């Protein structure tokens, strides 16, 4: 049990028969009336973000959530398979629990968020940045660099990414998986 005075960003609480991550909170003491806490809560099951106001001092149940290191193995018709890096146990995860699953590469390390009491998988956190090879690119026009002109390239997972004109086929680029955008060209 914890009260609203214990709130921290990133804390996981049980609320309305669901697990919620506290994304943001603000303690408010108006000139008239009792104090309260405004929060933005993200559901770990659905991913939906809601706003909620708690009266100051309200008791909430904390949820024990663990982040465990896993390695991505492969995908088949049933879903995605991961191996725990310490126990070597394999875990099957459905695609709906993985944000930006198209950026998973075989052998890549990920963190899987697990509800410790029920051993339920809540989500899979892939790295924020991945390095991928460009497999197809149109040639850039020489001298067309007066503006920040971008072109489309196809990377090894089949995704289309917008990149600067100097990126060519065979180059390795760093991609932000959350925004699906080009970050920089990686020197080999």
User: Which residues of the chain are in CATH 2.30.30.30 domains?
Assistant: 2-62
Domain 65-125's class? Answer: mainly beta
Q: What is the mean pLDDT of the chain?
A: 88
Residue 141: pLDDT band (50, 70, 90) is: low
Q: Is the pLDDT of residue 187 over 80?
A: yes
Residue 122 contacts residue 146 (beta carbons within 8 Å): no
Query: What one-character-per-residue DSSP string does the chain give?
Result: -EEGGG--TT-EEEETTEEEEEEEEEEE--SSS--EEEEEEEETTT--EEEEEEETT-EEEE--EEEEEEEEEEEETTEEEEEETTT--EEEE-GGGBTTGGG--TT-EEEEEEETTTTEEEEEE--SEEEEEEEEEPPPPTT--SS--EEEEEETTS-EEEEETT--TT-EEEEETTTTEEEEEEP-
In percent, how much of the chain has pLDDT > 90?
A: 40
Rounded distance, CA 122 to CA 98, Å?
A: 9
- Selected from 2.30.30.30, 3.90.1150.10, 3.40.50.150, 1.10.260.40, the CATH number assigned to the domain covering 2-62 reads 2.30.30.30
Residue 66 CA to chain centroid, in angstroms? 15
Average pLDDT in the 106-123 region? 88
What local confidence, expressed as pLDDT, does residue 80 receive?
93
Provide Rg for the chain, Cα atoms: 22
Residues 6 or more apart whose Cβ sits within 8 Å of residue 72? 80, 81, 82, 104, 105, 106, 107, 108, 109, 110
User: Which residues of the chain are in CATH 2.40.50.140 domains?
Assistant: 65-125, 129-186
Q: In this predicted model, what pLDDT tens digit does every residue of 19-76 receive, in sequence order? A: 898 989 999 998 888 999 999 998 887 778 899 999 988 999 998 888 899 999 999 9
Average pLDDT in the 122-148 region? 81
Q: Is the pLDDT of residue 142 over 70?
A: no
In percent, how much of the chain has pLDDT > 70?
A: 95
Q: In this predicted model, what pLDDT tens digit does every residue of 168-185 receive, in sequence order? A: 899 999 999 988 899 999
The model's pTM is 0.74
- Selected from 3.30.70.20, 2.40.50.180, 2.40.50.140, 3.30.420.40, the CATH number assigned to the domain covering 129-186 reads 2.40.50.140
Rounded distance, CA 83 to CA 92, Å?
A: 9
């Amino acid at each position: 049990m914890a009260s609203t005075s214990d709130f921290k960003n990133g804390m996981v609480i049980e609320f309305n028969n669901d697990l919620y991550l506290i994304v943001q909170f603000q303690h408010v003491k108006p000139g008239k009336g009792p104090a309260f806490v405004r929060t933005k809560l993200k559901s770990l099951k659905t991913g939906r973000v809601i706003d909620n106001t708690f009266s100051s001092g309200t008791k909430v149940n904390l949820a024990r959530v663990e982040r465990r290191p896993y390695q991505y193995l492969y995908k088949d018709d049933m879903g995605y398979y991961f191996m725990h890096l310490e126990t070597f146990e394999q875990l099957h995860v459905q695609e709906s629990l993985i944000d930006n699953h198209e950026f998973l590469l075989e052998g890549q390390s990920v963190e899987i968020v697990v509800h410790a009491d029920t051993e339920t998988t809540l989500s899979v956190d892939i790295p924020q940045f991945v390095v991928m090879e460009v497999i197809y690119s149109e040639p850039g026009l020489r001298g067309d660099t007066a503006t920040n002109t971008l072109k489309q390239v196809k990377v090894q997972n089949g995704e289309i990414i917008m990149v600067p004109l100097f990126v060519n086929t065979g180059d390795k680029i760093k991609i932000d998986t959350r925004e699906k955008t080009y970050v920089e060209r990686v020197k080999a």
